[in-house]
Amino acid sequence: MKKIFLSLIFVFTLGLLTSCGGGNPIEDLTALCEKVEKEGADYDKDGWMDVFKSMTKIQKSFYNFEPTKEEIREFESKTSELSVLCAKTANGTSLAQALSTLNEDEDFKQVMKELDDAAEKARSAAEEKTEE
């Protein structure tokens, strides 16, 4: 279980996982949390893979709109909330299978790299705005 939780944290914080409605990324993330809370116990491997892919799209959308430090802090707090929720809600086997499959997928690895770059760029830009 510890490995699953650490993998979740890795997936979510690496990219800090445009989605559901294409609106506000924080609202989209909240909606994803609600969906996982309601349906997560029934997800199989494919269901969890969909969650991670949706999360990644939400994160990418968020970081590409040049958030402020406060928005980043709020978003990353919500992201952590989602990772804990996934770990609590999931059937450990299906979650582990999804993480394993995604960690081996070259396209997903590329998306995560792009997400990591976007997050770093957004954090740097937010920091520069604060210093001005």
Decide which of 16 and 71 is more confident: 71
pLDDT tens track for 30-48: 999 999 999 998 999 999 9
pLDDT tens track for 49-67: 999 999 999 999 899 888 9
| pTM (two decimals) | 0.75
Confidence grade of residue 14 (pLDDT, cut at 50, 70, 90) = very low
Taking residue 10's Cβ as centre, other Cβ atoms within 10 Å add up to 15
Residue 122's pLDDT is: 93
